[in-house]
Amino acid sequence: MKHMLSLMDWSQEELLEVLKLSEEMRDKHTHDLKGKTATMLFEKPSTRTRVSFEVGIAHMSGHPMYMDATTSQMSRGESTKDMALVMNRYVDMFVARVNSHKFLVEFAKWSKMPVINALSDLFHPCQALADVLTMKRKKGDDKLVVSFVGDGDNNVTHSLMLASSLLGYEMRVGCPDKFRPNASVIAKCKQNHQKYGGELTITTDPIEAVRETDVVYADVWVSMGRDDTDERLKIFEKYQINSDLVKNAKQDYVFMHCLPAHIGQEVTEDIIYSKQSVVFDQAENRLHAQKGLMKFLLSEKQI
């Protein structure tokens, strides 16, 4: 059974199929989840992910069930294996935002239903689906140059790198040396680039990262669960997306951010609310991309 824990084990063909289904599901109400329950477990806060999944499941005639980790037996140490074996008896799909990616891997091992990562410490694949869906709508099907500037060792960065490599885009990550992306993600992206084209550059120079790029992408400098805020705010200062930095990008670049943003830190107000910012279309596309993903995972003709 196919899950969406990360894009590490996805092919270009599968990703393109999900993107195609996402466009087909845009503004559509279906019966794909009729009579089915999809549980949404959250160990961390969320606005977009919770609401877009809840609405998307309802659009597909399913019952979205919110589960707060702190009020479940998970908070008292019930094993992940037992939780999965029990949930198998009640529900048909399991969406989870968790502290540790290991939880998802273990849960999926015992799960009889599709498991979807709604963000973990390592990956945020649903975000990346919406990101590339947005890029394709804004820029068409050409090969793009995508630049992420900020925290390289970050769930959003990792998933964006993987999605870009599967599409053969040129991906650049501008980050401090101490906050480089995870080595196994870099290795997987390099493999994908060999197969699908494009390349990955990691640089400590934010100007080099955004030079002549189509997409300038930012995320917060301090992700949920990190406790080294003071050090990060200092070290990331020169990685702010502002009007000086974007002068180096292509004239028609688009600005993207997974949100929530910390305006004045990773991005300035003039950039995030500029005409070239697509952050709210990007947020909307979470809904369409997740409907496409759920449709794909439920379909028998998974590639």
Q: Per-residue x/- marks for ligand NVA, 137-166, CB under 6 A?
A: -----------------xxx----------
CB of 147 to ligand CP, least distance (A): 19
Summary count for the chain: helices (H), strands (E): 12, 9
CB of 76 to ligand CP, least distance (A): 25
Helix (H) or strand (E) holding 171: strand 170-174
Quick check: helix, strand or coil at residue 36?
coil
Would you say 159 or 192 has its CB closer to ligand CP? 159
**Which residues touch 56 (CB under 8 Å, ≥6 apart)?**
287, 290, 291, 294
Q: Is 258 in the site for ligand NVA (CB under 6 A)?
A: yes
Intra-chain end-to-end CA distance of the chain, in Å = 11
The alpha carbon of residue 9 and the mean position of all alpha carbons in its chain are separated, in whole angstroms, by 15
CB of 124 to ligand NVA, least distance (A): 6
Closest residue to ligand NVA: CB criterion? 223
CB of 235 to ligand NVA, least distance (A): 16
Would you say 127 or 154 has its CB closer to ligand CP? 127
220 binds, among ligand NVA, ligand CP, none (CB under 5 to 8 A by kind): ligand NVA
Q: How many residues bind ligand NVA (CB under 6 A)?
A: 9
Side by side, the strands of the sheet bearing 93-97 are 63-68, 37-42, 93-97, 115-117
CA angle 12, 47, 73 (to 5 degrees): 90
Would you say 120 or 192 has its CB closer to ligand NVA? 120
If you search the block for the tokens 């606005």, which residue do you land on?
A: 47
Would you say 48 or 188 has its CB closer to ligand CP? 48
Structure tokens belonging to residue 93: 């799909």
Would you say 84 or 160 has its CB closer to ligand CP? 160
- The answer to whether the CB of 164 falls within 8 A of the CB of 171 is yes
Instruction: By CB under 6 A, name the binding residues for ligand CP.
Output: 46-49, 119, 127, 258-260
Would you say 119 or 186 has its CB closer to ligand CP? 119
Contact set for ligand NVA, span 188-247 (CB under 6 A): 219-220, 223-224
DSSP β-ladder status, 145-149 and 215-218: parallel
CB of 264 to ligand NVA, least distance (A): 17
Side by side, the strands of the sheet bearing 254-257 are 200-203, 170-174, 145-149, 215-218, 254-257
**Which residues touch 187 (CB under 8 Å, ≥6 apart)?**
none
CB of 115 to ligand CP, least distance (A): 17
Helix (H) or strand (E) holding 116: strand 115-117
Positions annotated as catalytic residues are 97, 124, 127, 219, 258, 286
Binding footprint of ligand NVA on the chain (CB under 6 A): 119, 154-156, 219-220, 223-224, 258
